[in-house]
Amino acid sequence: MNYQSGDEFLQDMPLILAGPILKHVEPESVTVWVALKLPCQVELKVYDTTNDGTVIGNSLLEGRRSTVALGKSLHVVAVTARLTQRECLSSDRIYAYDLQFTQQTSQTQQTLQQALLSNRFASVNISYFAHQKPTFVLSPLHLEDLRIVHGSCRKPHGHGFDALPILDCLIEETANQPRLRPHQLFLTGDQIYGDDVAEPLLWASTMLGDALLSWEEQLPVVQKQATDVAYYKPKQLPPGYRAEVVTHQAGFTAGLDNKHAKVASHLLSLGEYYASYLLTWSPMCWPAAFPKGREIAGTGKPSRQWNRQVRTMQQFIHTLWKVRRALANIPVYNIFDDHDVSDDWNLNQAWCLRVLGRPLGQRSVQNALLAYAVFQAWGNTPHQFAAGTSGEKLLAAAQDWSASQGMDTAAYDAIARYLGMPPTNPHTGLPEFVKDGSVFILKRHPEALTWHYTVQSHCHEVIVLDTRTWRGYPVDKKTTAPPMLLCPQAFERQVFLPLQQASRMQTTLLIAPTNLFGLQVIDWIHHWQLERDQVFSTDVGDAWNINLGALAQFLTILFEQRHQVVVLSGDIHYSSAVRMSYATTDPNSRTKSVLIQLTASALKNEETITRILHTRLKDWLLPEKVRHWIGWSHPPNMVERKARLFRRQPQPRIKPDWVCALEWVPRQNTHLPDFGANLPWLLTPQEKAKNYKWRWLQRLMFWKSPRFQDGREVVGFNNLALVQFELTANASYKVIQDLYWFSSWYPTQIVYSRFQSELVHNESLWK
């Protein structure tokens, strides 16, 4: 299949290009997202089931909505079904849903099964039952029955096998058991990569985007001379040759410090960002075959690199059917991190001035954020896209922009307004900032959408933070200074008000795309690079504990409202669990609190350094030790005190308001789940032959042995996390994070490592 022959390509495709993806689910409403090749009215029905989900019952919720035309052949909708009777959906029951599609031009109707099939895809399975309808369960009444899955950082050409298909195994194993089946999935950042894109993926994204939109975007560049070009079309910037334009015309920082390979195939156009989502979530839009390296890159190293990346893409595509089925059968919630746009997105004020002050940089960020709004945010918060809202106006502007083939400036300005893009100062050409207390924040229109949100059930609440677009940049420091990840008004709106307004649940979970705490060696590196003003090479400023004042404010607000908090995070390409014990110092009102941070990263982006951290070598050479801080609430600040010198250090002049200590939860020995041994679905024929060829050598490599690989602090291979809670004998809860990954000693085997900790303050850390 060749994307350039658009009509032939579309004829081979089913009506559904990607999805269905189950999104926001409540007892009164259910939202499903889907991408189609034709404009349709989509009807959603939710059914009761009996006999452990095997028999379809009565229709309980219904809804319909028309698709939004993002391109001539790309039509997207997040349709919400609501109650048709008084009885709400309840916990401990399995529900099914179905979709029906009525084409707007011919009025032809198709069922979900018909819309999934085509000549090229004669068989598609998105259900775990014989009735072939997707199913789901609501969160349970009791915390000890809750199952939450989370993960982050899924780069298609990243090293190792994709871990997201493991979710399909988890659901399949427990599909007919509502208390054991996973209840929610949180993807906590980097669902796609705008930077660091494989050349075959950019080739596919450019071709697919142009075919679906049926027009080519004019990407603006700065004309240094009158004879310079003013615009580039995506095809004029081929894979592997974008580094110069991306770094110097768009201003993106991922290519600085001699890292041009990271931006040589950077996404830029709206069609490319749209296409990346389709290619990441569905096997339908991928070409049947890729061109050979010599056809694209000639001979030598570029040709070999292309062929190598094609093999990686083919392995990624091979298991996408399991990803698609899983996403159709569990409520999916997303939040962006930097790579959904580009590396270092809004890292500091210098990045904002550099990128948003250039036409191409501004256009690319807006394209990425519009794609995020339609493909992710719409399903997270469907109420923001209801009739008369900013979301509905954004969708209308997106339609007008595409219908004008990227020429309607009023539609472009409206998109910027509703996305919250900062206006450009007409005199300087730079983005505008406003003051918020002691920091600058990017200016935005009052009608702009918000990306943070809260999900609640009977037993838990999940507060999802936006730590990218509400950053506070210090007024009195250099533009490269680490920001507050949440500015003062963002603390109020995203943390304080949701905690204050929500009723007290059995537990509170926060989604923080960037870590509160990481490995100490990483902190040392960040502080060292900050002193040298080399902040873009390792994202200095993205970790909460680089700006201790902002972290102190976060902890103060958090523990004033809750005494037990679980933070789910990603970003850093390794997984771990840490526990912070916090106590106020006032003898008359001494309170004790605990925070447990569970990190799950990466779904597909393991690196050499994370593989080393994964092993016992890290424990032996550089083990993590208990860390202590003292802190103040007014003004917020905290100071680390070394454990060895804790008693000998001079006492501060002003008595601290609180103290806290951080400990790493040890990783237990690796176990094999019931579904982990036999994986006929995993390998392509080429990978099977390669694996068989080198299997005998695996046993001779001591560093791949289970004993050496059983480190005690992190999981550094591609992984997926399952979080659950257990009621202990003393009536407190224990939080458990099982991290599923592909073993190194037998690569086609899924294993899991367990981290567990009680949700109680640890007094022994001060003894």
Over residues 411-463, the pLDDT tens digits come to 999 999 999 999 999 999 999 999 999 999 999 999 999 999 999 998 999 99
Contact 433, 422 (CB under 8 A): yes
Q: Name the helix (H) or strand (E) containing 434.
A: strand 433-436
How do 231-232 and 219-220 pair as beta strands?
antiparallel
pLDDT one-digit tens code per residue, 641-683: 875 544 555 566 788 999 999 999 999 999 999 998 889 999 8
Phi, psi angle pair for 30, to nearest 5°: -140, 135
In the prediction, which pLDDT does 524 show? Answer: 86
Q: In the predicted model, what is the mean pLDDT of residues 182-189?
A: 97
Q: In the predicted model, what is the mean pLDDT of residues 37-63?
A: 95
Rounded-to-integer distance, Cα 64 and Cα 389, Å: 18
Which region among 2-11, 496-505, 676-685, 729-738 has the lowest average model confidence (pLDDT)?
A: 2-11
In the prediction, which pLDDT does 1 show? Answer: 45
Cis peptide before 656 (omega within 30 of 0): no
Rounded-to-integer distance, Cα 353 and Cα 275, Å: 28
pLDDT one-digit tens code per residue, 682-710: 988 887 777 665 565 665 566 778 888 88
In the prediction, which pLDDT does 646 show? Answer: 46
- Alpha-carbon distances, residue 633 vs 440, 552, 560, 582 (angstroms): 22, 7, 11, 13
- Give the largest CA-CA distance in the chain: 81
> Which two structure tokens, joined as six digits, stand for 168?
């399909």
In 3-state terms the chain splits into helix, strand, coil percentages (rounded to 5) of 30, 25, 45
Q: How many CB atoms lie within 10 A of CB 617?
A: 13
Rounded-to-integer distance, Cα 150 and Cα 206, Å: 30
Strand order in the sheet with 439-442: 433-436, 439-442, 473-474
In the prediction, which pLDDT does 184 show? Answer: 97
In the prediction, which pLDDT does 357 show? Answer: 94
In the prediction, which pLDDT does 645 show? Answer: 47
Which region among 86-100, 233-247, 287-301 has the lowest average model confidence (pLDDT)?
A: 287-301
Q: In the predicted model, what is the mean pLDDT of residues 280-299?
A: 89
In the prediction, which pLDDT does 521 show? Answer: 86
Candidates 81, 75, 79; CA nearest to 60 is 81
Q: In the predicted model, what is the mean pLDDT of residues 19-30?
A: 96
Which region among 28-32, 104-108, 273-277, 347-351 has the lowest average model confidence (pLDDT)?
A: 104-108
In the prediction, which pLDDT does 225 show? Answer: 66
pLDDT band at residue 503 under the 50/70/90 scheme: low
How do 507-512 and 147-151 pair as beta strands?
unpaired
Average pLDDT, the chain: 91
Candidates 709, 712, 720, 711; CA nearest to 743 is 709
Contact 745, 188 (CB under 8 A): no
In the prediction, which pLDDT does 694 show? Answer: 59
Rounded-to-integer distance, Cα 431 and Cα 442, Å: 7
Beta bridge partners, 436, equal 439
Which region among 185-194, 260-269, 432-441, 537-546 has the lowest average model confidence (pLDDT)?
A: 537-546
Q: How many CB atoms lie within 10 A of CB 292?
A: 12
In the prediction, which pLDDT does 3 show? Answer: 54
**Per-residue 3-state assignment (H helix, E strand, C coil) for 148-195:** EEEECCECCCCECCCCCHHHHHHHHHCCCCCCCCCCEEEECCCCCCCC
Q: In the predicted model, what is the mean pLDDT of residues 399-415?
A: 96
In the prediction, which pLDDT does 11 show? Answer: 80
In the prediction, which pLDDT does 683 show? Answer: 87
Rounded-to-integer distance, Cα 713 and Cα 624, Å: 8
Rounded-to-integer distance, Cα 178 and Cα 181, Å: 5
In the prediction, which pLDDT does 540 show? Answer: 83
pLDDT one-digit tens code per residue, 517-526: 988 888 888 8
Percent of the chain scored above 70 by pLDDT? 95
> Which two structure tokens, joined as six digits, stand for 522?
């990483």
Q: Would you call 412 exposed, middle or buried from its count of C-beta atoms within 10 A (0-12, 13-18, 19+)?
A: middle
**Whether domain 6-139 has CATH 3.30.300:** no
In the prediction, which pLDDT does 366 show? Answer: 98
Q: In the predicted model, what is the mean pLDDT of residues 316-330?
A: 97
Q: In the predicted model, what is the mean pLDDT of residues 627-647?
A: 81
